[in-house]
Structure 1
Amino acid sequence: MRPAAAVAATTDTDGDGLLDTWETSGYDANADGVVDVDLPAMGASPLHKDLFVETDWMPGLRPAVTVLDRIVSVFAAAPVTNPDGVGGIRIHLDGGSYAGTSAYALGGAGEVPLDTDLSPYVEEIQALRSAHFASARADVFRYMVWADRYNTGCSSGVALGIPADTFVVTMGDSCNWNRTEDRLVGTFVHELGHTLGLRHGGSDNVHYKPNYLSVMNYSFQFGGVPRTSGPAYFGYSDDAHAALDERALVESKGLGATAAGWRTTWYCPRTNAARTSGDAAGGIDWNCGGSVSGTVKADINKSGSTGLLTAQDNWANLSFRGGTVGYGAPLANREEPVWVEVRPGHWRRVPPAALRELTKHDADQLQHGVRP
């Protein structure tokens, strides 16, 4: 039997990648007897899942405090269980001091020099991390920067692997981004999701799946997943909804009973995006033929072919350890970075024929280009 002290030194009761001893006594990075990262003072608990992210920013790109508030709310509402009996994930964002609150002043975040093109992006993002992120935090905090752009393109962001410990949100002035709160929140949660092991299609990188109701899906990164009532949802999927066989779509079934309360977006043949006007658990006119009837074949995710579209319960598949974050040896990235993320003009305008199923608000959410 292992000694009690040895067991305690490797125990992670809540499964968040942070050892219980770190969350009760603090983390001593160099084993010199001095606590380098005071997790309990920051609100960590060995009985409740915690995530830590340092958020630096380039000049003019620091988000409003309400963006951080919304990100915290997304994770607090996560359908995740904890040993303390309280649901959700407590995300600790180190974003510096804001007027009226010190909630995000965790001692590390700050402004970094403006770089209008992080290129080559891996090397330059890693250089930012080396220069502005305390190495003693590496086992606890993920690192991100609100940046301008990278690789001379206009991608909205990138994570340095899946899973990983570093990401950037690149919605700067060089690409004329319209930095709405929705886009900033959605892109932050999306890129953080990559560091937590999530992909654009769930367990794969197939895009625009109507049954993948997650901010990881390009269809929902900027505008959230629409509901039949209330505000859009900017979190990860909480259900592996039924697979859709594009070669035999039963229109009367829609997305199935598990999608009750949600709406979705799909692509009409030879046109563009359409959105359900009602519950996605009801019928959906997949081929945009004007009625909901029969079994049809349609490329509803505009991939250029038809096949089986599967979904994933994201929250049940998070990897809390990624890169250097977590106890034990650093984890190797399972995938190389995929840097072709959403761009300002990624969505085309919705054609008039498709607008018949959209409210004005919905149409605006789909038309994500900065300029018409």
Structure 2
Amino acid sequence: MIHRSRLPRLLRASVSPLLLAVLAACGGGGGGGGGGAAAEAPALAPASDQATTSAAPASGKLLLSEVASNYYSDDVAWFEIHNGTGATVQLAEYSLSSSWVDTSTGRSSRTPRGFTLPAAEIPPGGYLVVASRAHQNLRANSQMVYVGDGTRMPYWNASGSIELLRDGATVDFVRFGSSTAVPASEDHWGDAAVTALPSGANEHGKAIVRLAAGGMADTNGADDWRHVNFATPAGRNDVPPGVTDSDRDGIPDSAKVAGGTYGGLDLYAMGARPGRRDVFMELDYMQGSDAALVPRREALQMVVDAFARRNIALHIDTGSLHGTDAAAFNLGGGNPVPFAQCIDLDLAGTTPPAGCSSFYAYKSGHFDVRRKLVFHYGLFANSQRADGSAGSSGVAELNGADLIVTLGGYGFTGAEGVDRNMLTNLQASTLMHEFGHNLGLHHGGHEDVNYKPNHYSVMNYMYQFAGLSATPQSPYAAERYYLVNGMKGKTYCNLVENSPCGTAFVIDFSDGSGSELNELALSEAANIGRGSSGGAYADWDDNGAFTSSLVARNINPLWGTAKTVLKDYNEWGNLTLSFSRAWSGASYGYGFNADEASPTQPERRVNPMNLSARNRTVEDPLPQDLHQALRHAHRPWR
């Protein structure tokens, strides 16, 4: 059975109407088959059992070691090969036979068909992920390659089969669910199929594996395989069956204790601990002369501290940029990458504009595949404009794992004083804002209604660049409202509390404690909806004095003209940390649907093994008056 994907508007624009119509009629997903070659970016060495254990298959051969759960027909179906021999294996000397789907017709079949395997080397003890080429912007590396034949590609859901062959003879074989496929060499499978793979919109990130702890058993039968709740692509199958995620952060409990690993990754050594929610992020950064391209240590610490106040440990990895240990944001990844004047978080079926590089080329070339299901990946880059000029501050997947910060071209020098303060503060607020989109947040928290004074969050453009007041019930609480609406002579550098030009900048998500603001009947005494102290009030009618009667005014005019009720949202209570483990937000049913006016239906999440931003949010450029303040910071005569 082919399963329908709820394609958001952005993705639909990149898929042919004919293909959409065919797939919709057949219950299939969108996306193109893309059998052509894509740019390769080999940079990473495959993970190896030999690096962590001497265990190797007794058979000493090439083995199918993992098959991941799959559901949507336009998604990346993948399996893993382990080299148990003592020599490097050339993958192109082998071929694949598997169940499959034709994306042009929506037809799937459990009757296996053959696929040619690409050139790739698997070193002794190494692992390689082989995945379906669901669309053209998938880029292979030394840990992961893609397979397809025009619009036909390997595919399975609860049932299917995979066979690895050499010269027409079976090397290894597995079937699962209700598949009745048989291998070319019949003695390579001796009994019933492995029980069905979990397959459904909420069964993401699971797999059947040959366990490393079981010596990668190879008896040519279902008993060799075990169901696990956590797939481990390109690494050791070291998560035991039945392990759960009691912290709801996407990390198996077994990897949060000393000696436990996740695909060979020592997350415990990187700081993960039981009884606490842990989140990991790798940040790469472009090389260049613009100070905005390099994430400042102080900015990273501000974001980490904001999460720590909510007992969430955010572990950021920038490699050796700031030091040699985890306290200096070095978890063994994080890379300086080549400069490109323009970056694009491209969608399936599209190519970057001329002069731009694709975000996914960087990710494929520098991000360890073993991290894909547990690490967010971010890039500090120059610009999203083709000419490299200052523009959007960032772009991120909504309910996903990828983000970009683009503050290049604005003239940051990093010079001590106001310039450095602004650079540090805006890096911190932009990174946390884009990361918030990854965690399922919108500019209005649960909705895309921006500039709500009572939505006290870095997700709100009113507070992203201006920061938050330390005391939201004080006389200064409405300063940011006056600033963005051009009232009372407020500028970014003359805010009384926590200006972005100073060193006391505050960033945070909302806890939802702001009361509703009815624009048809506003009480100035309620201030911005978070209480009042010391005679504080919000001067909604801008008359310079407290108005005791109710005021009717549109207080988020930069978003819309209608007067409505503005609502806060408990963002901290609704973060989706386990991005690879769920298909919607923490409160199921509130995932954003880009084809609806409001977030009323669950939205399909991005599979992190795919390279396709199904929903993305592109930010506005820095406000003009903030840009002017920056220019004045290091050219005061202007």
- For the aligned pair, the TM-score class normalised by the smaller chain equals 0.7 to 0.9
CA distance in 1, matches of 2:631, 2:360: 29
The one of 107, 114, 121 equivalent to 2:339 is 114
Q: Tell me the SS of whatever aligns to 1:188.
A: helix
Q: TM-score, normalised by structure 2?
A: 0.45
Shift of 1:246: 0.8
Alignment of 1:73-92 (within 5 A): 73-78=305-310, 88-92=311-315
Question: Which deviates further from its counterpart, 13-22 or 182-191?
Answer: 13-22
CA RMSD of aligned residues (A): 3.0
2:539 to 275, 285, 295: 285
Q: Does 1:185 align with 2:408?
A: no
Aligned position for 1:67? 299
1:241, distance to aligned residue in structure 2 (A): 1.1
2:253 corresponds to: 20
User: Aligned with 1:158: secondary structure?
Assistant: strand
Deviations 1:296-325, CA, capped at 9 Å, x for gaps: 111111122211111111111101122xx3
Q: Relative to 1, partners in 2 of residues 1:336 and 1:218: Cα closer, same or farther, differing over 3 Å?
A: same
Report the AA paired with residue 133 of structure 1.
F
Indicate whether 1:343 and 2:621 are aligned: yes
How far did residue 63 of structure 1 move? 2.0
Contact 1:23–1:45 (Cα < 8 Å) also in 2: yes
Aligned mate of 1:243, from 498, 512, 516? 516
Amino acid at match of 2:266: D
1:111 and 1:100 map into 2 onto residues whose CA distance is 14
Change over 3 Å in CA distance of 1:244–1:298 after alignment to 2: same
Instruction: Evaluate the alpha carbon distance shift between residue 239 and residue 366 of structure 1 in structure 2; reply closer, same or farther with a 3 A threshold.
Output: farther
Given candidates 404, 407, 411, the residue that maps to 1:171 is 407
Question: Distance between the aligned counterparts of 2:519 and 2:317, measured in 1?
Answer: 44
Q: How does 1:81-230 map to 2 (within 5 A)?
A: 88-98=311-321, 101-103=324-326, 104-119=329-344, 121-122=346-347, 124-152=358-386, 154-160=391-397, 162-173=398-409, 175-176=410-411, 180-228=423-471
CA distance 1:301–1:366, shift in 2 (3 Å) = farther
Q: How does 1:227-306 map to 2 (within 5 A)?
A: 227-228=470-471, 231-256=504-529, 258-259=530-531, 282-293=536-547, 294-302=549-557, 303-306=560-563
Which residue identity lines up with residue 428 of structure 2 in the other structure?
V
Q: CA deviation at 1:347?
A: 4.8
- Contact 2:583 2:605 (C-alpha < 8 Å) held by counterparts: no
Question: Which runs of 5 or more structure 1 residues have no equivalent in the other structure?
Answer: 29-34, 79-87, 262-277, 349-364
Note the C-alpha offset of 1:366. Answer: 10
Instruction: Give the corresponding residue for 1:270.
Output: none
Residues 117-142 of structure 1: per-residue CA shift (max 9 Å, x gap): 11464461122211111111101100
CA deviation vs aligned residue, 1:74-98 (integer Å, no higher than 9, x gap): 11112xxxxxxxxx11111111124
- Kindly provide the amino acid, as one letter, of the partner of residue 363 in structure 2: R
- What displacement does 1:11 show? 1.4
The change in CA–CA distance for 1:336 and 1:237 in structure 2 (over 3 A counts) is same
Cα distance between partner residues in 2 of 1:110 and 1:225: 32
Amino acid paired to 1:27: Y
Report what 1:307 is aligned to: 564
Whichever residue aligns with residue 573 of structure 2, its letter is A
Cα distance, 1:192 vs structure 2: 0.3
Match of 1:264 in 2: none
Over residues 241-278 of structure 1, what are the superposed CA-to-partner deviations in whole Å (9 max), with x where a residue is unaligned?
Answer: 1111111111222234x4468xxxxxxxxxxxxxxxx7
- Structure 1 counterpart of 2:10: none
- Retained in 2: the 8 A contact 1:71–1:189? yes
> RCO greater where, 1 or 2, for CA within 8 Å and sep 6 or more?
1
- Aligned 8 A contact 1:9 1:21 in 2: no
The CA deviation at 1:110 is 0.6
Percent identity between the two aligned chains: 33
Q: How far, CA to CA, are the matches of 2:380 and 2:368 in structure 1?
A: 18
| Contact 1:54–1:144, Cα closer than 8 Å, also in 2 | yes
How many Å apart are 1:155 and its aligned residue? Answer: 0.4
Q: What is the TM-score with the length of structure 1 in the denominator? A: 0.75
Aligned equivalent of 2:19? none
Question: Residues 186 and 91 from structure 1, CA distance in 2 versus in 1: closer, same or farther, beyond 3 angstroms?
Answer: same
Shift of 1:226: 1.3
Task: State the 1:115 CA deviation.
Answer: 1.0
Aligned-residue offset at 1:233: 2.1
* Aligned match of 1:9: 242
Q: Which amino acid aligns with 2:554?
A: D
Is 1:321 aligned with 2:556?
no
Q: 1:99 to 1:187 in 2, by over 3 A?
A: closer
Partners in 2 of 1:245 and 1:327 — Cα distance? Answer: 35
Unaligned runs of 5+ in 2: 1-227, 230-239, 352-357, 413-418, 472-496, 499-503, 585-603, 607-612, 633-637
Q: Deviations for 1:204-236, whole angstroms, at most 9, x for unmatched residues?
A: 111111001001111111231112477342111
SS at match of 1:338: strand
Q: Residue 218 of structure 1 contacts residue 342 of structure 1 at CA under 8 Å; is this kept in 2? A: no
CA contact (8 A) 2:379 2:404 kept: yes
Q: Distance in 1 between matches of 2:539 and 2:433?
A: 29
Tell me the matched-pair count: 312
- 8 Å contact from structure 1 (residues 20, 46) kept in 2: yes
Change (3 A) 1:259 1:196: farther
CA contact (8 A) 2:248 2:578 kept: no
Partners in 1 of 2:343 and 2:430 — Cα distance?
Answer: 18
- Given residue 202 of structure 1, which amino acid in structure 2 is its aligned partner? G
With over 3 angstroms needed to count, the CA separation of the structure-2 counterparts of 1:204 and 1:327, relative to structure 1, is closer
Kindly indicate whether the alpha-carbon contact (under 8 Å) linking 1:8 and 1:21 is maintained by their aligned counterparts in 2: no
Q: 1:332-364 CA deviation, whole Å, 9 max, x = no partner? A: 24972121x1313x254xxxxxxxxxxxxxxxx
- Report the Cα distance in structure 1 between the residues aligned to 2:323 and 2:455, rounded to whole angstroms: 38
Aligned-pair CA distance for 1:8: 6.6
| Cα 1:125–1:58 shift into 2, 3 Å | same
Is the Cα contact below 8 Å between 2:403 and 2:435 reproduced in 1? yes
SS class of match (2:305) = helix
Deviation of 1:292 (Å): 1.8
Alignment CA distance shift 1:259-1:314 (3 Å): farther
Matched residues in 1 for 2:555 and 2:452: separation? 8
- Higher share in strand: 2
